[in-house]
Chain A
């Protein structure tokens, strides 16, 4: 699919909610990940079939993404997070500044979520001694939340991760 063909489908995602803040402020408190994901999840879930459970599920996924930006982001610049909806899916668009070279890591981690061995890699990571890497977190989203993940190319040092979450279908 080329960009021109993709355009109309993308248009149908309607914006629900977004926040933007100084990355330095965001990084000043780990609790921001939990608080923002809980709050945003609650706001966007109120008109889902089962608001409570949708919100619980969505908060789980969003928190992991925010934690990725917390752990991998750099303090200069702004972090922005927007949630869109199309039918049973939510799209999370998360942009944040990261140190030079990190875009490449993200590109590889995202690519691995699309490979056939994604599940095997995920199980391997669970059984290995290392703590969860950002790759595992993305695999977790792909496997446990049926997320479709891609990167939007941006001028360094920013990175934009786009995650489509079909949670309404899983929850209800």
Chain B
């Protein structure tokens, strides 16, 4: 297996795709989080100035609002590692290099296994870039007092790495399942950007959280909204609100973090990991007997 992993790393490093996708990943991450946190800061500033809140003496300027767009940035930027993973096996089939790859591997399962190990590492590396550039973006766009503390930042960065890693593996699975680059890319992009958003609208509370995007978004999204809600709870006037009103605030913030209807962050992570596993296993089963003609 070590031999095949070395070969997979060489395959990636001797072609341009990894950096051709890494550049837009970094750009999207920094722009999205910068613009997003600038927007959030502006809105929060405006709210803090509002007469209603001022009359009650509520101070909303000191919470780490920036994590909301940290989460949203992770969700949007993860498209690139997903594409990267989707091409792992499917582009080999489309380009017919898979013939040689299969001829030099003990069996097809071990080749897919080596790809999963390799692409998990690459997915994590994309995640590090996403979390890094998202941090830069919120640093540029937020007031310093609205940045997360060290623990909050570490948790968000971890969510970014994990999310990108899982998206990459899910992509590898879908690519292996469909066996065609174009088909894999189109179905993944259309589903994640369009289809699930449409069906998510019609589903009742919590249903979106079991879907692919819903659970994936829940990992950083719910984490961010929990960080923020914990801080809002320290605001006395909010703590004294009736439960139903507080629930409205909690749900609203989770929606702002892009994770409407998601379960707890760790549960979302597990559900999403389950989806990735389903596609990897399906891809393995289908690619085991696929005719390479």
Q: Do A and B originate from a single complex? A: no
State the A residues within 8 Å of B (CB): none
State the B residues within 8 Å of A (CB): none
